[in-house]
Amino acid sequence: MEWWLSMPKVELHAHLNGSIRDSTLLEVARTLGEKGIIDFSDVEHVIMKNDRSLREVFKLFDLIHILTTDHATVTRIAKEVIEDFAAENVVYLELRTTPKRNDSIGMSKRSYMEAVLKGLKAVSSVDIAFIPYNEDATSLIRSLPTNVECNGATRKKIYVRLLLSIDRRETTTAAMETVMLALEMRHLGVVGIDLSGNPVVGEWITYLPALKFAKEQGLCVTLHCGEVPNPKEIQEMLDFLPQRIGHACYFQKEDWEKLKSSNIPVEICLTSNIRTASIQSIEVHHFVDLYKEKHPLVLCTDDSGVFSTSLSKEYKYAASSFGLGKMEMFELAKNAIEYIFADGSVKNDLRAIFASETKKLN
């Protein structure tokens, strides 16, 4: 097996509805087409299209949400997404999703999240630990060495934690509801809040009260920051001192200075940035400068379904684009443990997993 596939990896920036298998999306669309709810022929080419601008990506998300936002489908995609990450040796996944309300089908933000959790509980092909302090889950996962042989087949194991996303289209009240829900669901593996959604929509001031409250209550916060040129918002976001940021594509000199002095880890999504043309070419990607300066960073997929990628592909892409070897990529993956939002005991478990892999590499 190639090293980028077999190596343990940590995924910290993956949107649930952006990580759906094409086959599942097509199947769901076909079923809705047969019921006359959508016109399948209109939708098929949109799903299969590969090159999308950032604007087109958000149009696609509106379509995906029409296709997937019912409880059963949310449960199915959550299960499949976790199985897919585990299959490529992601040992820790922070999965983010926007809790959605749809009165017409009796969906509340809470019931949406319960459907996600049902998907986590339905995972059976891999060992999953997603509930903190749950003795059963923890002891099960601890009792198994990495990739244990079970009935002749290799079983994977994965730690999963959840981040609740605030969509930039939401009001202050709606954002606060999401934070309250996250607090209520902490014992079920929710560790933080993400701010995402179309970056040309909404204002920082709208989400700030909810994000401040989240931070005060001890939830970790990550922000989509600098996806479009918006110098004022970038500075305000950095002043907020989030625990991590994603993207950082349109940073100017003063933004880099502030980011570096505050040591905020950056979630780097190479394929996403190139596909949406947020960065002109891989050669000029800010990964290079941040890596050279040893700034905390982590490679992530963003939307593995929408951008036809995987975390293994991102590692391979970085290695080949920036001339890095297997050992350097292994160190990069291992360093990501320090930026996860789960508690110290999970960090220790992950360190142990990487330590046992180090022995195999040497």
Active site residues: 227
Residue 226's Cβ-count burial label (10 Å; 0-12, 13-18, 19+) is buried
> What does the alpha-carbon distance between residue 54 and residue 355 come to, in Å, rounded to a whole number?
39
Helix (H) or strand (E) holding 330: helix 326-335
What's the closest the beta carbon of residue 354 comes to ligand 5GP, in angstroms?
28
Answer yes or no: are the C-beta atoms of 140 and 127 closer than 8 Å. yes
Binding residue for ligand 5GP, selected from 8, 119, 189, 197, defined by CB under 6 A: 197
Answer yes or no: are the C-beta atoms of 233 and 210 closer than 8 Å. no
Torsion angle in degrees (nearest 10) through CA of 71, 57, 225, 321: 120
**Binding characters for ligand 5GP, 70-109, by CB under 6 A (x = yes):** ---------------------------xx-----------
Q: At what angle do helices 71-87 and 54-68 cross, to 10 degrees?
A: 120
State which amino acid sits at residue 98: T
Q: What ranges in 217-310 are assigned the alpha helix state H? A: 231-239, 253-262, 270-275, 287-292
What's the closest the beta carbon of residue 18 comes to ligand 5GP, in angstroms?
5
What's the closest the beta carbon of residue 300 comes to ligand 5GP, in angstroms?
10
Closer to ligand 5GP at the Cβ: 9 or 13? 13
Binding residue for ligand 5GP, selected from 114, 170, 177, 303, defined by CB under 6 A: 303
Asked if residue 227 binds ligand 5GP (CB under 6 A), the reply is yes
> What does the alpha-carbon distance between residue 195 and residue 163 come to, in Å, rounded to a whole number?
10
Asked if residue 132 binds ligand 5GP (CB under 6 A), the reply is no
What's the closest the beta carbon of residue 145 comes to ligand 5GP, in angstroms?
32
Asked if residue 272 binds ligand 5GP (CB under 6 A), the reply is yes
Joined together, the tokens standing for residue 317 give 């892409």
Binding residue for ligand 5GP, selected from 73, 75, 89, 165, defined by CB under 6 A: 165
Closer to ligand 5GP at the Cβ: 164 or 329? 164
Closer to ligand 5GP at the Cβ: 7 or 211? 211
Closer to ligand 5GP at the Cβ: 88 or 227? 227
Binding residue for ligand 5GP, selected from 119, 132, 189, 199, defined by CB under 6 A: 199
Exposure string of 272-288, with b = 16+ CB inside 10 Å and e = fewer, is: bbbbbebbeebeebbbe
Joined together, the tokens standing for residue 87 give 């299959």
Asked if residue 170 binds ligand 5GP (CB under 6 A), the reply is no
Asked if residue 18 binds ligand 5GP (CB under 6 A), the reply is yes
Binding residue for ligand 5GP, selected from 16, 38, 175, 300, defined by CB under 6 A: 16
Binding residue for ligand 5GP, selected from 17, 73, 178, 271, defined by CB under 6 A: 17
Q: What ranges in 7-96 are assigned the alpha helix state H? A: 22-34, 40-48, 54-68, 71-87
The residues binding ligand 5GP (CB under 6 A) are: 15-18, 61, 97-98, 165, 167, 196-197, 199, 224, 227, 272, 302-303
